[in-house]
Amino acid sequence: MEDRFGHRISYLRVSITDRCNERCTYCMPQELQEWLPRHDILTFEETIRLIRIAGELGVTKIRLTGGEPLTRRDVIQLFRQLPRLTNLRDIGLSTNGTLLTREVEPGLTMAAAVRACGFNSVNISLDTLDREEYARVTGRDLLPDALAGIDAAIAAGFPQVKINCVLMRGHNQEALVPLVDFAAERNLLLRFIELMPVSTTEVLAESNFFPVAEAKRTIEAKFGSLLPQPEFRTNGPASYYQIPGRAQRIGFIGAMTNLHFCESCNKLRLTCDGKLRPCLGSYLEFDIMKPLRAGASDEELRQFFLDVVERKPEQHDFRTTYQPGRKMVAIGG
Ligand code: SAM
Ligand code: SF4
């Protein structure tokens, strides 16, 4: 699938729930904390069918996300079906990590069960190592659970475990250097992400915004000039750098300040309530659940995907007109 601007679509992010056991301020604003009714959420069969069709159209990589995907009941039964689908070579999970130690069956952690389903990467959110700050940002005192989840992911043997840290001025500037050391000790790929306006405007006030360039300077003040790694890519928009004197790489995702951010976009998103979104930072979304539930054929659904790709914008609207209309937790970050 290719859009009007030459973006080749090979990556589908699939949100499987809008529910979460945390309440991150930047993702789930206070006033939007009502869950969607169960009937409005794609069933496992519907989700698998849409992923299969995307695979037939050239999607090779998917990432399961949410909300917190591991809160979905019997989620492993969904995950088990994924490796059988055509073309999928790369299956990843985005999680806050707090449920990775939960036992799916006696002796089998969620992390090990996910790995056994053929997932090759897991991205875990961790904005700070300070327990009080973690509780303030996520609304839950679950730092020990998140850290245990990271250990469980390492023990499960995923080829790639990434840590994602959302930058927020006044919340985690002091956390950056400790996070770099934490990632180095565990051989994890750490990425810093700019806050995007997908929550209430008040959370996204200019005073909270902390650009990647400043984060980079904060880290350089401790470690020296970071060495650009333009050849190193992970199928996403992060720019990677090496820490001087270490084998460690860290990434920066400058969704707001990097003006070339959208050029290499290869993504499409499927929300848990059956909307296809050609871009996270655009209002455009198309209801594929409607034709799906009205009995559309595979061919009709394939055409639906192609039409959505055709409407993919050249770049996101975050810097201009965007005002949050839908919380991140429902779109799938
Ligand atoms: N619950 C899982 C987690 O926290 O990783 C998966 C879903 S979460 C929506 C996916 C990613 O989106 C997380 O790394 C989270 O930090 C990021 N995210 C959420 N809201 C964001 C925002 N307003 N700006 C930037 N990143 C955001
Ligand atoms: Fe939940 Fe993840 Fe959103 Fe935090 S970022 S509220 S953990 S979905």
Q: What is the pLDDT of residues 181-230, one digit of tens each?
A: 999 999 999 999 998 876 555 555 667 889 999 999 999 999 999 999 98
Q: What is the pLDDT of residue 227?
A: 96
Q: What is the pLDDT, as a whole number, of residue 204?
A: 57
Nearest partner of 17 among 330, 285, 318, judged by Cα: 330
What DSSP assignment string belongs to 244-286? TTSS-EEEEE-TTT-TTTTTT--EEEE-TTSEEES-TTSS--E
CB under 6 Å to ligand 2: residues?
A: 20, 22-24, 27-28, 66-68, 96, 125, 138, 328-329
- What's the CA gap between 305 and 301, in Å, rounded? 6
Res 87: pLDDT: 87
- List per-residue pLDDT tens for the chain, 333 residues long: 887 777 788 999 999 999 999 999 888 866 656 788 999 999 999 999 999 999 999 999 999 999 999 999 999 999 999 988 878 899 999 999 999 999 999 999 999 999 999 999 999 999 999 999 999 999 999 999 999 999 999 999 999 999 999 999 988 999 999 999 999 999 999 999 998 876 555 555 667 889 999 999 999 999 999 999 988 877 677 899 999 999 999 999 987 877 776 777 888 999 999 999 987 767 778 999 999 999 999 999 999 999 999 887 777 666 555 555 555 555 555
Count of C-beta atoms within a 10 Å radius of residue 286: 17
Average model confidence (pLDDT) for the chain?
89
Kind plus residue range of the DSSP H or E element containing 64: strand 61-65
Q: What is the dihedral of CA 209, 246, 223, 184, to 10 degrees?
A: 50
Tell me the ligand closest to 328's alpha carbon.
1
CB atoms within 10 A of CB 251: 23
Q: Hey, what are 316's tokens?
A: 């996101």
Which residue owns the Cα nearest ligand 1 atom 19?
A: 27
Q: How many CB atoms lie within 10 A of CB 52?
A: 20
* CB of residue 27 inside a 6 A radius of ligand 1: yes
Residue with tokens 């455009």: 284
Output the CA–CA distances (angstroms, integers) from residue 250 to 14, 118, 142, 226, 326, in the order listed: 25, 25, 25, 9, 30
Interatomic CA distance for residues 157 and 153, integer angstroms: 7
Sign of the CA dihedral 27, 90, 40, 104?
negative
**Closest C-alpha residue for ligand 2 atom 8:** 67
- The H-assigned helical ranges of the chain are 44-56, 75-79, 110-116, 131-138, 143-156, 176-186, 212-223, 289-293, 298-310, 328-331
**Residue type at 12?**
L
Radius of gyration of the chain (CA): 19
Contact of 52 with 83, CB cutoff 8 Å? no
Ligand 1 contact via 26 beta carbon (within 6 Å): yes
Q: What is the pLDDT of residue 267?
A: 87
Cβ of 125 closer than 6 Å to ligand 1, yes or no, is: yes
89: how many CB neighbours lie within 10 A of its CB? 12
Q: Which two tokens stand for residue 179?
A: 């996070």
| Structure confidence by residue, pLDDT tens digits, 118-141 | 999 999 999 999 999 999 999 999
What domains are defined for the chain?
Answer: 11-330 (3.20.20.70)
Mutation probe of ligand 2 site: the residue of 15, 19, 24 with most atoms within 8 A of C-beta: 24
